[in-house]
Chains A and B, each alone.
Chain A
Amino acid sequence: MSKPSVAGVQDKSYVVAVQEVKPLSVLGTDGTVVNPDEMPKLSDEQLKELMRRMVFTRTWDQRAVNLTRQGRLGFYAPVSGQEATMVGSEFALNKDDFICPGYRDMPQIVWHGLPMYQAFLYSRGHQHGGQIPDDVHVLMPQIIIGAQYLHAMGVAMAFKKKGEKRVSITYTGDGGSSEGDFYEALNFAGAFKLPSIFMVQNNGYAITTPFAKQTAAMSVAHKAVAAGITGVQVDGMDVLAVVKAVQDAAERGRNGEGATLIEALTYRFLPHSMSGDDPSKYRTKEETAEWEQKDPLNRFRTFLVNKGLWSEAEEAAVVEDAKNTVAEQIKKAETTEKMTIPGLIDSMFETTPQHLEEQKADYLA
């Protein structure tokens, strides 16, 4: 069986063929460069920016977990462990590329421009959380697992039709890769040769179900083969590898070479969501400890420190900034004017029909 016929990438070991693949990595777990050929072209300033964003995201996540426990946030899905995948994949895009996120993908859309207080409003169940500013190219997070794959495919169709050199990116977890919508999106993207990037953040579990029970496929990335699109696997704890994989996929998309499915192997250190699952019931301490060895922040920090690009003081400043930003943004969310039933009614249609005007009157009296 031949490998997917995408120019220039057939000879890479992390491109999926019908055999086992080895994930693309640039850094070893000790922070040394193991694969210099795949090093993305980034300036020192960009390398530092990646670190800043990962550290900021980790702190923000910790604060959000606390805020949820205090009842100041609503639904929240923790992201610690997945920073390299989330931050790195967004970093590899242009500002006008379009993100269709799932419920866990807040970091990507905030780094893409959504004000953080709106992310908090979304969590608190306020409509304004989804009122994306005009110059921010994202949708609000999707709850229906897989639906965002179809939207990203549709967005890419629009870009293709308008002749715009933009790509869409979307995310789900390993569980989401079992949904029908996932397959339909991949298949459409293949059939119409669309500039979509489909990312699967394989963090080992769908709520509590382990990946081994999710699929008998050799990998998620293999699912690209049947759709005729490029499939690659990447070490999702290695931010440089993620940047490279997404940059390559975006370039293929912009060059008219079609869609890419990227499986990022990653891990969430915390529970599935803050709504009550206890990870100790479905995974072992040893497993978590093993993944903690691959912590994306530690790896990248070592790499930067070795290059003389990062210091404890710089990191402390980022943590401080993150704490202050979260405090200020949650305050802004908490003091945003509350939703009203008449406002809700008016958000159903462009022009509110008479029967809804009548129903609205009951609340205005």
Chain B
Amino acid sequence: MAQMTMIQAIKDAMRVELQRDPNVVIFGEDVGKVGGVFRATEGLQAEFGEERVYDTPLAEAAIGGMAVGMATQGFRPIMEIQFVGFIYEAFDQIAVQAARMRYRSGGKYQAPITIRTPFGGGVKAAELHTDPLEGLLVQTPGIKVVVPSNPYDAKGLLISAIRDNDPVFFMEHLNLYRSFRAEVPEGEYTVPIGKANVVREGSDVTIITYGAMVHTSLKAAEEIEKTRGVKVEVIDLRTLMPLDTDTIVESIKKTNRAIVVQEAQKTSGIAAEVIAQINEKAILHLEAPVLRVAPPDTVYPFAQIEDQWLPNAAKIVAGLNKVLDF
């Protein structure tokens, strides 16, 4: 098995699928020769040709519309939106056109489109390059939303996304692209969309989270185990739509306490949904209210105060203490 960073694993997934299925195509701004601003597609044009991997003019709505049009003719487009903040430009094509294709056509047409975009804070990027927009996407019926937290999952989930016959929004956290390596199998394998992963077993309290916050939460879990002796379970959601509520409920039955950690602004996001699900399905198993650890409802801040704004291990530990002491 090879050791790969997340960006290498993502590229590997696309290579495997380009090889396997001639209908897979990749396009977007600068994805061809240089392989995108983060080099996620580096070398793929050289290997598969300009017919399969190609640059488009600078126009996000048209990138989205091209994907929708090609999808109706049997292609499986992987479109790259260079940075997450620019999906607003393409939002009609994603939320209105791709996500509603199956519904509008009564099942006749589908939109097997993978929308890849980098997002995620802690890297001091320019404005609108990192915004966690997953809540907005999850509120859009007809679209799946995937956020991997490590190289193994990234490859397996991306292959699942490409093979999925519905549009999948695949969010790649900037801070995880090259921060560590992990074992990634050669060739094809899938990680199913819609299944969470218990990344740390525990018995006293559960942290439910996703993306880069999985790593921050694991750090917080280590710390509180050392200082207070409690065993923290950590769930990596991996997929935000559809949400794996079974895994969440199983964990609540075991630990009876939970917090939800998200990098996105507090109100009406993924954490709110997770808590609503716990209320509906496991309220009698709770010993304390489920808390959210999340940034305030402001615009994503300029780089100078980004570190203060984002949840960190100390804030997560404080949240854990609160539900443990309730």
Contacts and interface: CB of A to CB of B under 8 A. Distances in A.
Contacts of A181: 61-62, 65, 92
Interface in B8-65: 25, 51, 56-57, 59, 61-62, 64-65
A347 interface: yes
Interface in B95-113: 96-97, 102-110
B75 interface: yes
B117 interface: no
Given A188-B56, A349-B142, A353-B194, A151 B69 contact: yes
Contact of B142 (A180, A185, A348): A348
B107 A131 contact: yes
B65 A158 contact: no
A255 interface: no
| Most chain A CB within a 10 A radius of its CB, from B56, B66, B103 | B66
Contacts of A356: 242
A147 B106 contact: no
Contacts of B128: none
| Most chain B CB within a 10 A radius of its CB, from A130, A140, A154 | A154
A151 B68 contact: yes
| Most chain B CB within a 10 A radius of its CB, from A144, A159, A350 | A350
Interface residues of A, number: 42
B74 interface: yes
A341 to B, nearest CB: 13
Nearest to A349: B166
B245 A348 contact: no
Nearest to A348: B142
B69 A150 contact: yes
Nearest to A128: B106
A139 interface: yes
Nearest to A354: B242
A132 B165 contact: no
A355 interface: yes
B65 A184 contact: yes
Contacts of B158: none
Interface string B68-102: 11111111000000000000000011001100001
A350 B165 contact: yes
A65 interface: no
Contacts of B194: 353-354
B296 interface: no
Contacts of A281: none
Interface string A322-365: 00000000000000000000001001111001111000000000
A100 B105 CA distance: 13
B70 A188 contact: no
Contacts of B56: 188, 191
Contacts of A128: 106
A180 B245 contact: no
A288 interface: no
A79 interface: no
A152 interface: yes
Contact of A131 (B51, B92, B106, B245): B106
A120 to B, nearest CB: 14
B107 A154 contact: no
A353 B242 contact: yes
A187 B96 contact: no
A153 interface: yes
A184 B62 contact: yes
B69 A155 contact: yes
Interface in A124-149: 127-132, 139-140, 144, 147, 149
B68 A131 contact: no
B104 A130 contact: yes
Contacts of A153: 62, 65-66, 69
B111 to A, nearest CB: 11
Given A154-B70, A350-B165, A185 B65 contact: yes
A186 to B, nearest CB: 10
Contact of A150 (B62, B103, B243): B62
Contacts of B107: 131, 347
Contact of B66 (A162, A188, A354): A188
A232 interface: no
A355 B109 contact: no
B266 to A, nearest CB: 22
Interface in A24-61: none
B61 A180 contact: yes
Interface in B239-258: 242-243, 245-246
Contact of B72 (A139, A162, A344): A139
B67 interface: yes
A139 B25 CA distance: 22
Contacts of B106: 127-131, 347
A285 interface: no
Given A154-B66, A188-B56, A355-B242, A348 B105 contact: no
Contacts of A150: 61-62, 64-66, 68-69, 93
Contacts of A354: 194, 242, 245-246
A127 to B, nearest CB: 4
Contacts of A131: 105-108
A157 interface: yes
A168 B65 CA distance: 14
Given A153-B66, A181-B62, A347-B107, A147 B245 contact: no
Given A162-B73, A348-B103, 5 more contacts: A127-B104, A151-B69, A154-B73, A155-B70, A350-B102
18 contacts: A100-B69, A127-B105, A131-B106, A139-B105, A147-B97, A149-B65, A150-B61, A151-B69, A153-B69, A155-B72, A158-B74, A161-B25, A181-B92, A185-B62, A185-B65, A350-B102, A354-B245, A354-B246
Question: Would you list the 6 A-B pairs with minimal beta carbon distance, nearest first?
Answer: A154-B69, A150-B65, A353-B242, A158-B73, A184-B62, A131-B106
